[in-house]
Amino acid sequence: MSKVIIIGAGGVGGVVTHKCAQLPEVFSEIILASRNEDKCKAIAAQLDRPIRTAQVDADNVPELTALLEKEKPDLVINVALPYQDLHIMDACLAAGVDYLDTANYEPLDTAKFEYSWQWAYREKFENAGLMALLGSGFDPGATNVFTAYLAKHYFDEIHELDIIDVNGGDHGYPFATNFNPEINIREVTAECRHWENGEFVTTPAMSKKASFTCPEEVGNYNIYRMYHEELESLVVNFPTLKRAQFWMSFGESYLKHLEVLGNVGMTGIDPIDYNGQQIVPIQFLKALLPDPSTLGPRTKGKTCIGCVVKGVKDGKQKIVYLYQIKDHQDCYAEVQSQAISYTTGVPAMIGAKMMLEGKWKKPGVWNIEQFDPDPFMEDMNKYGLPWEVIELDDFNLDG
C-alpha cells in the first residue's frame, strides 16, 4: 500500500496515471500534480477510481517541497520535462522522498542532455537513505533493461549493441511530434554520437541511414543513427561493449519539415526580440504544432522498439534481438493515448512498482540497467508490453 505523486499531466503523465490507477494493490493513493491543474482533472475524470490532483510549479523547489512535506508520498514519479529533473530531485531530498524519472536532465538554455548533473546527486541520495531511479521510460528504460536481460541470460560477454526505435504509426498530419515537440526536436537535431572502441564518436545529425525490416509484418523503415541518452549509461555499466548505436525511424515528410524549419531558424533555442517581446523560436513552434496528447485517436499503425546484441556465449559468436511491438489504436482503446506515451508510461509505472515492492531498493542514484532485469521483464509481459526474443544468423546496418 503506497502513495505516489505523479508530476506532469502531459501525454506520458496521462498513461502513468491510468496504469497506476489499474493497480490499487500497489498504488493505493495517487496524486497527479502539474503546472496546470485542469489538465490533471481531465485525466482524473477518465479513470474508474478516484485520485487527487494538485497544482504545482516543479521549478519552484520550496513550493514543491511544501507539497511533498504535506502529502508525504512514498515516491515521486517525474514525468514533467527534463528541465525539471534537478529541481524535483532537490525537493525530494528536502522532503525525504524517493524519485523516479524517464528522461535525463537538460538545461533550458543548452540543447545538451547528459547524466553528469544527476549522477552528481549520488552521494546526497545515498547519505539521505533515498533512492533515485533514472530513465524508467521505454528508451531510455525498457531498452536498458532489454540489454541487461540479454547480457544476463544469453551471453557471457556482450560486444555490440544496436537499439532500434521504429514508429510505424501515422497520425495523418504533415508534421507533428509524438512527444513534447521541444524535447523531440532538440533531440533529433543534435549531433550524432555513438560508442566505438572506448569513446564516443561524433558525426553530423542524421548523416547515417539504414533500412530495417521489423518482425511480425510491421514493415520496412528507413532508420537514422542518432545520439540517445541511454548510450551514456549503458557503455559505463556494460564495459565490454565495443560498439553501441541508437537508430530511429523517420518518415520523409517529418524530415523535410524539420530541415525547412531548421533552415529558417524555427528550431532555435536562443530568444529573439520580436516587437519588443522575447520569443524562443522552438517554444513558439511548439505552440503551433499539434499537442502530442491529442494524437491518440488519429494515430494508426505500430511501434517496434528493441535491441540487437552481438556477443559471445560458450566461446561462440551469437546475435540476439529482443523487441516489443505495440499497436497505437490498442493503446488508445485502453488509456486514451498513442503508443509513444504508452510505451513510456508503462515502464515508468513498472519501475515505480519495482521500488515500492522493494524489488529494486537501494539508496543512491541509479540507472535502470543496474538492477535485476527479470522482475521488470515479467511485468512488461503482464501490463501491456509483451516482448519477444529471436536469434539472428546475421545482422548488419553498415550498408
Question: Does 293 sit near ligand NDP (CB under 6 A)?
Answer: yes
- Quick note: the x/- pattern for ligand NDP over 29-68, rule CB under 6 A, is -----xxx--x----------------xxxx---------
Question: Does 102 sit near ligand NDP (CB under 6 A)?
Answer: yes
Question: Does 12 sit near ligand NDP (CB under 6 A)?
Answer: yes
- Residue 167 CB, shortest distance to ligand NDP, in Å, is 11
E-strand spans in 262-301? 272-274, 277-279
Question: Does 10 sit near ligand NDP (CB under 6 A)?
Answer: yes
Q: Closest CB to ligand NDP belongs to which residue?
A: 10
Q: Degrees (nearest 5) of the Cα angle 58, 59, 62?
A: 80
Q: Quote the CA–CA distance of 247 and 268 in Å, as a whole number.
A: 24
**Which element (helix H / strand E) includes 25?**
none
388 contacts: CB under 8 Å, gap ≥ 6: 215, 216, 322, 323, 324, 325
Question: Does 305 sit near ligand NDP (CB under 6 A)?
Answer: no
Residue 145 or 235 with smaller CB distance to ligand NDP: 145
Question: Does 84 sit near ligand NDP (CB under 6 A)?
Answer: yes
Q: Quote the CA–CA distance of 75 and 71 in Å, as a whole number.
A: 11
Residue 37 or 372 with smaller CB distance to ligand NDP: 37
Interface residue with ligand NDP among 20, 30, 93, 183 (CB under 6 A) is 183
Residue 182 or 327 with smaller CB distance to ligand NDP: 182
Q: Return the closest-CA partner of residue 286 out of 269, 272, 310, 264.
A: 269
70 contacts: CB under 8 Å, gap ≥ 6: none
Question: Does 267 sit near ligand NDP (CB under 6 A)?
Answer: no
Buried b / exposed e over 85-115, threshold 16 CB at 10 Å, is bbbbbbbbbbbebbbbbbbbbbeeeebebeb
Q: Which stretch binds ligand NDP (CB under 6 A): 6-14, 241-249, 259-267, 306-314?
A: 6-14
* 3-class secondary structure, 346: helix
End-to-end CA gap in the chain: 52
Q: Are 244 and 235 spatial neighbours (Cβ–Cβ below 8 Å)?
A: yes
Residues of span 148-177 touching ligand NDP by CB under 6 A: none
DSSP string, 221-244: EEEEEE--THHHHHHHH-TT-SEE
Question: Does 11 sit near ligand NDP (CB under 6 A)?
Answer: yes
Interface residue with ligand NDP among 31, 71, 93, 137 (CB under 6 A) is 137
- Residue 398 CB, shortest distance to ligand NDP, in Å, is 26
- Quick note: the x/- pattern for ligand NDP over 333-362, rule CB under 6 A, is --------x--x------------------
Interface residue with ligand NDP among 80, 133, 150, 377 (CB under 6 A) is 80
Interface size with ligand NDP, residues (CB under 6 A): 34
Cβ count within 10 A of residue 374:
14
Question: Does 141 sit near ligand NDP (CB under 6 A)?
Answer: yes
User: Nearest 5°: phi and psi at 52?
Assistant: -100, 160
Interface residue with ligand NDP among 79, 93, 132, 244 (CB under 6 A) is 79
Which residues bind to ligand NDP, rule: CB under 6 A?
7-13, 34-36, 39, 56-59, 79-82, 84, 102-103, 137-141, 179-180, 183, 292-293, 341, 344
